[in-house]
Structure 1
Amino acid sequence: MSELLPLFLNLTGRDVLLVGGGRVAEAKLCQLLAAGARVRLVAPVIASTIRDVARGFQPRDRGPERAAPQVDILERGFEAADLDGAWLVVAAATPEVNRAVADAAETRRVFVNAVDDPANATAFLSGVVRRDGVTLAISTSGDAPALTALLRESLDAVLPRDLAVWVNTARDQRIAWRREAVPMEARKPLLLRALNHLYKATAENAEHAEEPLSALSARPASDRDPSVPWLSGPEDSWL
């Protein structure tokens, strides 16, 4: 398999087919609803907890526009026509059902996330860290989900506690760069300087000042103290 293309999907208001009615499907349903998707769930047997989740996400406003529910439950086996109008499919069923879903989706050019079934998948959900407006996604291409979970927990542990301040600083800096037409190659050093300035010691704690971010970013990863903020990596166009 070629290298996967990492990307984030905006599923708000878009139809997603979820095939499966058990515990795994319930977890995926919660993820899809949190992303704002409209979910069509199909399975011959559906856990009562899934119905509870579905009821919890029904729109409360039943005004003149009669908004459609976010979850449409069909208690039957999968049919190829269930894919009609879907932007994405999540298959959380048996390998045999997942294969049928994958075959039908392939002819319609719809991506399939087959849970713990990489042979029938064309899309892979990732381990995710979300904090203060930052989202980090980690994937092992479906081959080692336990390692994905371990890496997710490790990254979450080393992120700075004041990450929201980093985000606000970077956002303000970007506005200024665009206004002043700062070239891309100059932006990372400027961001490092701005973030380092956050930790400039006052007269009271000058003797306890942190090592500069620019110096930390040049150190090998194995030598970095995870309690100290740092940045590293190639220049990125989004800066």
Structure 2
Amino acid sequence: MVEAPPFASPPMAIPLSARSRPGCSTHATFALKGFSSRVEMSESAAKTANLSASRKQVIQLPNYEQYPISQFLSHPSGIQAILNTRALQSFQFLGANTYRCTLPKIQFLNFEATPVMDLRMTLTDTDCKVEMLSCKFKGSKIVERQNNHFSAFMTNHMRWDTNDSGNTVEVDVKLGVTLEIFTQPFALLPLSAVEVPGNAVMQALVDRLVPLLLGQLLQDYEQWVHQQREHL
């Protein structure tokens, strides 16, 4: 499940090039004690930072024999629950089990960006997998140009089973972001200066959001079962 996140689900990348211009080179202007210098760096010499986070968690499911969780997730209420549509500005069915999820606008410095994700949901009797097919930013030309310099992936794999302890569901969430770093002063830094804090932030985000989303999913599941029983 996704929260955009929230890449909502949260934003999964931060624009690193607020001064980028069209063309094969990027210009950044710096002023120090009244002295201005123009720095040019070829984008072909960009460094690539790889950020990642993951979390596995197993939770107990209520024993609803007539209403298994696979039945809930195949219902529109279950689809909305696993896509966490409450956190979205809008979502649209594209066909072939694919949904376009638009998150609320985010602000960074003087820029506004709207994250848009295409997610594919694959459901069987024993598992459900949500995969992010694409993630783009909508906004100004400068904002949208950043789409050429990052990529992201996300999977949320849920498996359920019945054993001696009852019904359980295992959730395995993986999140990854690749960033091109080509503007000064970021390009002068070692990759570890971006990757170490970036990985820590992403892992903290995943560790916080996954339990919250699972708790909300269980609430939605219980509410749906209650509604089904009322209509008997």
Q: TM-score range by the shorter chain?
A: under 0.3
Q: Give the alignment's TM-score, normalised by structure 2.
A: 0.20
Larger Rg: 1
Q: Give the alignment's TM-score, normalised by structure 1.
A: 0.20
Point out which structure has higher relative CO (alpha carbons under 8 A, 6+ apart): 2
Report the structure, 1 or 2, having the larger strand content. 2
Report the structure, 1 or 2, having the larger helix content. 1
